[in-house]
A and B are shown apart, each in its own frame.
Chain A
Amino acid sequence: MAKMRGSIVVDAERCKGCEVCRVSCPTGTIGMAKEVNHKGYYFAYPENPDLCIGCANCAMVCPDGVITVYKTKI
């Protein structure tokens, strides 16, 4: 079976750090940054990018629509 590899891009300046994406990620790709954006939020970022399968669950639940998802077969 072809394996899917995905990747996410988080618009860190618009992220409000609510962590809803982190808990809905099935592979534990997303973590919260140790630094803050200009609004003072610990933004989400792909902590383990190699685990991403491009399921777009994070983007579906993101209230601020800051996550863009890419997916390809390898």
Chain B
Amino acid sequence: MIEATGIKNIIKPENLVYKKSSVMTDNVLSYCPGCGHGTANRILAEVIEEMGIQSKTIGVSPVGCSVLLYNFLDVDMQEAAHGRAPAVATAIKRLIPDSFVFTYQGDGDLAAIGTAETIHACNRGENILIIFVNNGIYGMTGGQMAPTTLPGMKSSTSPAGRDVKTMGNPLKMTEIVATLPGTYYVTRQSVHTPANVRKTKKAIRKAVEYQKLDRGTCFIEIVSNCNSGWKMTPVQANKWMEETMFPYYPLGDIKVPVEESVK
């Protein structure tokens, strides 16, 4: 630990304004430096702590970098088969209706192998929160092309860039699930700047409130970076994401509840 010199009198418990949440475990995060997953995990932990729902929370994480969440969050976690997290979460929520159930999925999981489970869980209006971390690539397995990879974007399986004629168009899952009647709150956020982190945290908080009121599926997409997969430094990756990802995946609420009873 290094401390700022000369201002040691500021470092006192009563002056504390920010500290890592106690819902996070002490394990060192095994994500790459600058990965948005770490920030997303942290704000999820903060919301769980602030709302006092640690003992009632059950998370479901499937396959991909998102699976590592069970190492870092001190809540009950269930591992699901690749893409099947919304189906497992459905069962958990139906069996334990008092619990707060969320899934934490990446784009290779939710938008590729788990498309059917995601769409049907949203269509049934299951009372769960789906957190979808979209970095446009299969990060854990070495940066292969995912359904969300942008047109022309290079990946290890599309070295000349994604050609939409042969490889299809990027899938906007968030827009798709927003059209389903079962979803209650659908939003797209990011975690690369302090302002965006605060907005995302607010969105997760809202989703927890809605789940308490039994309103239906809440779906939060977090557009994130994969600097290792994109072969960039974290700062470059965030800039690239702003310039290239956001025009295709614009941030903001896509489906907001008609009656805004919860503020």
| A contacts, CB < 8 Å to B | 5-12, 14, 16-20, 23-24, 41, 45-46, 49-50, 52, 54-57, 59-72
Besides A52-B7, A57-B194, 17 other A-B contacts (C-beta < 8 A): A9-B11, A16-B32, A19-B235, A20-B234, A46-B4, A49-B6, A52-B4, A56-B194, A60-B197, A61-B191, A61-B194, A63-B33, A63-B36, A65-B20, A65-B38, A69-B17, A70-B16
- Does B95 sit within 8 A of A, measured CB to CB? no
**A contact residues around B235 at 8 Å (CB):** 18-20, 23
Residue in contact with A63 in the complex, picked from B6, B18, B29, CB distance below 8 Å: B29
Interface status of B179 (Cβ within 8 A of chain A) = no
Range, interface on chain B: 35 or more
Q: Which residues of B contact A60 (CB under 8 A)?
A: 18, 194, 197-198
- Does the CB pair A49–B198 fall under 8 Å? no
CA distance A57 to B197 in the complex (A): 9
Taking a contact as CB atoms under 8 Å apart, the answer to whether A69 and B35 are in contact is no
- A7-B18 contact given A57-B194, A60-B194, A60-B197, CB 8 Å threshold: no
Q: Which residue of A9, A14, A59, A61 contacts B3 across the interface (Cβ within 8 Å)?
A: A9
Most A-side CB within 10 Å, residue of B5, B29, B198: B29
A61 near B19 with CB under 8 A, answer no
B193: chain A residues within 8 A (beta carbon): 24, 61
Report if A12-B2 is in contact (Cβ < 8 Å); known contacts: A63-B36, A70-B12. yes
Shortest A22–chain B CB gap in Å is 8
Question: Which B residues lie within 8 Å of A57 (CB)?
Answer: 194
Q: With a CB–CB cut-off of 8 A, which chain A residues contact B32?
A: 16
The distance in angstroms between the C-alpha atoms of A11 and B20, with both chains bound, is: 11
Judge if B10 is at the interface, Cβ distance under 8 Å. Answer: yes
**Closest CB of chain A to B228's CB: distance in Å?**
11
**Docked-complex contact A59 and B7, CB < 8 angstroms:** no
Can you report 8 residue pairs joining A to B where beta carbons are below 8 Å apart?
A12-B2, A14-B28, A18-B33, A18-B235, A56-B18, A64-B29, A66-B20, A70-B17
